[in-house]
Amino acid sequence: MKLTHLLVLAIGLSSLTANSQKNINSDKQNTDQKKVLFVLTSHDELGDTGEKTGFWVEEFAAPYYNLLDKGVKITVASPKGGKAPIDPRSKAEASQTEATKRYNEDKFAQEIVNTTVKLESVKAVEFDAVFYPGGHGPLWDLAEDKTSIALIETFNEQDKPIAFVCHAPGILKHVKNANGEPLVMGRNVTGFTNTEEEAVQLTNVVPFLVEDMLKENGGVFSKAANWNVHVVKDGNLITGQNPASSNKVADALFQSLK
């Protein structure tokens, strides 16, 4: 009888130890999990054209799944919170990729985009990096948004990765470094080029041209041929030229998280 009790006690203790170790490992995994903030535009009016704009879905979807599949925890925010507008042009058949097709079937990801947290409620200290997808929308709201500007400056001061693709480098228009100079001054950058903007016939619609602004702010601008992949990393600053560069920007961001 005593032997039976001892066996039951030993099994119970063994199970308790195993469960405790599992909880410890789980807690460690949660602590080690990298956290990246995605910031989307809330702006949906394409200047005075009467057409809609927003964020380019490929520029969200490709980095989102790239990082998510590697175990990164992603939070999505926007200036107004709630539903972030998708640029209708990015839904065209010609713009579809494996990532956008996955997004179109992913109700969970769609719900995240439809219920973004308000940008003013997030803090840089809670994340390991920040990523801004493009689309034309950010040129109107995020480029002028004081909360976004301050957030990027804080991430930069903390030497955390800050990444932007396509039109999103335009968000750096008013962002300063610790010396009060434009953040891009003297740094290698890229972004949606003047010739790419001309190709989509929106040169005279956008509030400013990304390439011109980056150069005017002292950035060392480089580019590939229209629509080719081109990603530039300079310290903690990562920029991509166009939608095709989205996945490579995410690769560079993930490498910076290690």
Give CA separation, 93 vs 48, 57, 111, 241, in Å. 26, 12, 22, 21
- Between residues 96 and 15, which one has the greater pLDDT? 96
Question: Given pLDDT bands bounded at 50, 70 and 90, which one contains residue 7?
Answer: very low
Q: Has residue 168 got a pLDDT over 60?
A: yes
Q: Has residue 16 got a pLDDT over 50?
A: no
pLDDT score at 249: 98
Residues 219-234: tens digit of each pLDDT:
999 999 999 999 999 9
- Return the domain boundaries, the chain: 34-257
Q: Compute the average pLDDT of residues 44-68.
A: 98
208, amino acid identity: F
Q: Compute the average pLDDT of residues 75-79.
A: 98
Q: Compute the average pLDDT of residues 233-255.
A: 98
To the question of pTM greater than 0.85 for the whole model, the response is: yes
- CA dist., res. 74 & res. 85, Å (int): 18
For the chain, the three-class secondary structure string (H helix, E strand, C coil) is CHHHHHHHHHHHHHHHHHHHHHHHHHHHHHHHCCEEEEECCCCCECCCCCCECCECHHHHHHHHHHHHCCCCEEEEEECCCECCCECHHHHCHHHCCHHHHHHHHCHHHHHHHHCEEEHHHCCHHHCCEEEECCCCHHHCCCCCCHHHHHHHHHHHHCCCCEEEECCHHHHHHHCECCCCCECCCCCEECCCCHHHHHHCCCCCCCCCCHHHHHHHCCCEECCCCCCCCCEEEECCEEEECCHHHHHHHHHHHHHHHC
Question: Given pLDDT bands bounded at 50, 70 and 90, which one contains residue 30?
Answer: low
Other CB atoms within 10 A of residue 16 CB? 10
Q: Which CATH class is domain 34-257?
A: alpha beta
Q: Compute the average pLDDT of residues 112-121.
A: 98
Q: How far apart are the first and last CA of the chain?
A: 55
pLDDT score at 25: 43
Cα–chain center distance at 254: 11
